[in-house]
Amino acid sequence: MQVLLIRSYQLLLKGLARVLPFPRQHRLIGAGSSQTLAAELSRRRWRRPLLVSDRQLMQLQLPAALIRDLEATGLPCSVFDQVLENPTIACVEAGLQCYRRNGCDSLIAVGGGSVMDCAKGIAARVGNPWLPLRWMEGLFRVLAPPPPLACLPTTAGSGSESTIAAVFTDPQRHGKFAIADLKLLPRIMVIDPMLMLGLPPAITAASGMDALTHAVESYIGRNGSAWSRRKALSALRRIHRWLLQAHRHGRDESARLQMALAAHEAGAAFTRTNVGYAHAIAHALGSLYGLPHGLANAIVLPEVLRWSHPCCEQQLAEMARAIELEGSDGSEQGLALAFIAWIEALKQDLGIPATVAELREEHIPQISRCALKEAHPGYPVPRLMTQTDCEALVSRLQDHSDNCFR
């Protein structure tokens, strides 16, 4: 009965995603494209933007050129640089105060997924001052339109620049929650590989694996369309070709651009289909142990695929063919297993551990409960899990050996 209810709800979401009027985004893409943003904002009559970023990026002076361009164009901006990894409700509220104090009328996010999500949270609260952020959890609860937002990703992973969702941490309830609404889709997105050249290898690896998880979970989920599958496969091909290159040669502009496009395509795919159990379990691990989102996804993804593969063998085989893998015997099953093995090998090449060193036996029931609460009924996964299934899967992520990776 519960399965029937979950699947019916997902079917409803699938129908809804087909008819939802996703707004068109203005896209600036290519090396140096961020230098054209100020003129574009001036043309659109943005007057006083709040630039949202984090301390590290400000110290690296990554937004400095943009701030200078904005001032030269007659658009003096204020800066909120207090965003932390996994932004909390308090962080969004601090950004809201900064926005009001400075009489801003728009937002520019320069940073990774945490910065872009925080900017979306600030925008949602500016538009809906009477609604607490927590109240907006779920689908389509951002009632009034937020001010316009431009996103300049500095990592190639979250794809937040092309999604309608944002994820926040609620320390009081020890968990993460998401808000999703068409009104949160950034009005302008800028993909400039020059902003990503200095990204350290570990962040390149984790964010690239986040983008891969988006593409894979979108593709194997039951709510995909021909359009979302095309986007997911395109992202997968780029990641297959360019992630290791970007990891090893961080200043390779082509590799950075291709990975940024992959993250954007994977984001555009999953914002229409949703994600799956890898994300649900990764969020639970992230909020308990503070694991970076991409790293947690990378660790969990192969286990989730091994568990799901009886119900998505064909999709896994299609992804294997898309990146020209060969199975052991040419069968669909052989190809599906080859695809999972490729992800394992990629992880190893990127220096990502196979297990979670912090994971403790007594936390497994709680992690599984949180993950299933997040995944059901919204995530259109190919094979549904029970609490027992989930606990068994999470226990396989424990480090039983003495030679920890981390």
Span of 57-65, 203-211, 219-227, 305-313 interacting with Fe ion by CB under 5 A: 203-211
* Residue whose tokens read 């079917």: 11
150, 187 in Cβ contact below 8 A?
A: yes
Q: What angle do CA 25, 26, 32 make, to 5 degrees?
A: 135
Span of 83-91, 169-177, 208-216, 252-260 interacting with Fe ion by CB under 5 A: 208-216
Span of 23-31, 71-79, 209-217, 321-329 interacting with Fe ion by CB under 5 A: 209-217
Give the shortest CB-41-to-Fe ion separation in angstroms. Answer: 28
Give the shortest CB-163-to-Fe ion separation in angstroms. Answer: 9
- Closest to Fe ion by CB, 37 vs 232, is 232
Structure tokens at 189: 């997105």
- Closest to Fe ion by CB, 67 vs 300, is 300
Q: List CB contacts of 324: < 8 A, sequence separation 6 or more.
A: none
- Closest to Fe ion by CB, 49 vs 208, is 208
Give the shortest CB-109-to-Fe ion separation in angstroms. Answer: 16
Task: Check the CA dihedral 380-384-390-392 and report its sign.
Answer: negative
199, 56 in Cβ contact below 8 A?
A: no
Give the shortest CB-400-to-Fe ion separation in angstroms. Answer: 27
The one-letter code for the residue type at 250 is G
Give me the phi and psi of 356, to 5 degrees please.
-105, 110
* Residue whose tokens read 């082509």: 254
Q: Which of 54, 81, 161, 210 binds Fe ion (CB under 5 A)?
A: 210
**Roughly what angle, to the nearest 10 degrees, separates helices 364-375 and 277-289?**
130
Q: How many residues bind Fe ion (CB under 5 A)?
A: 1
Give me the phi and psi of 79, to 5 degrees please.
-120, 130
Give the shortest CB-297-to-Fe ion separation in angstroms. Answer: 6
Give the shortest CB-178-to-Fe ion separation in angstroms. Answer: 10
Per CB under 5 A, 217 contacts Fe ion: no
Q: Shortest CA distance to 107 belongs to which of 188, 27, 211, 43? A: 188
Q: Which residues inside 71-130 make contact with Fe ion, applying CB under 5 A?
A: none
Virtual torsion, Cα 2, 5, 11, 15, nearest 10 deg: -150
- Closest to Fe ion by CB, 33 vs 234, is 234
- Closest to Fe ion by CB, 160 vs 368, is 160
Binding mask 151-190 for Fe ion (x = CB under 5 A): ----------------------------------------
Span of 207-215, 225-233, 306-314, 370-378 interacting with Fe ion by CB under 5 A: 207-215
Radius of gyration of the chain (CA): 20
Number of Cβ atoms within 10 Å of the Cβ of 404: 11
- Closest to Fe ion by CB, 210 vs 313, is 210
CA distance linking residue 150 with residue 53, whole number of Å: 12
- Closest to Fe ion by CB, 193 vs 286, is 286
- Site residues for Fe ion per CB under 5 A: 210
